[in-house]
A = this chain, B = another copy of it.
Amino acid sequence: GTTIVAEGDPATHFFNISSGTARMVKLLPDGRRQITGFASVGHFLGLAVSDSYSFSAEAIDTVHYCRFSRARLRELLDDYPAMEKRLLEVASNELVAAQEQMLLLGRKTARERMASFLMAQSRQGVPCQQSRAKFGLPMTRGDIADYLGLTIETVSRTLTKLKTEGYIAIPTISEIVVRSPEALDEMAAGEA
């Protein structure tokens, strides 16, 4: 739950997560919260070009990371041009993900958002296998809600509904078993 970087702070450093998961958070003055993404192993944080961070990053479990100063990053980029290529690649991929998330937030129903989220999580960190049915959710319902632009209650109700309909099972509060990945994929795409 500790803060790694805070929105508005001078952007002095640059991070690479080596273990655990962090949430990237943007806040409105009255406390409304939007989580723009979750960063786990390998993720880069603090790409912002401007003087200050445009979002906060907070640990949701035990997080280990590498920290570089911006000056050091500049050196690295000058010495290893491939690094720059890699960063551009990373940024482009994040941009694609961000656009996908805009579609979700702007146009999908609560049900479709949950299905999208669950299927994305189920594929998370499973590069070779098709997709393992069971997986853990490191974040709370509140985090999921703020990521999907919903309330805790709607997240809870939607999960319950998907469970009673047989699409998923919820063995423990932080574990999900996907029973019909195909159906959920269709649901996520807005075809059902």
- Chain A residues with CB under 8 Å of chain B are 24, 26, 28-30, 32-34, 36, 47-50, 54-55, 77, 81, 84-85, 87-89, 91-96, 98-103, 105-108, 146, 148-149, 189-191
Contacts and interface: CB of A to CB of B under 8 A. Distances in A.
A146 B33 CA distance: 22
A55 B101 CA distance: 13
Contacts of A36: 99, 102-103
A26 B102 contact: yes
Q: Tell me if A's interface is mostly helix, strand, loop or mixed.
A: helix
A148 B94 CA distance: 21
A149 B105 contact: yes
A148 to B, nearest CB: 8
A92 B98 CA distance: 12
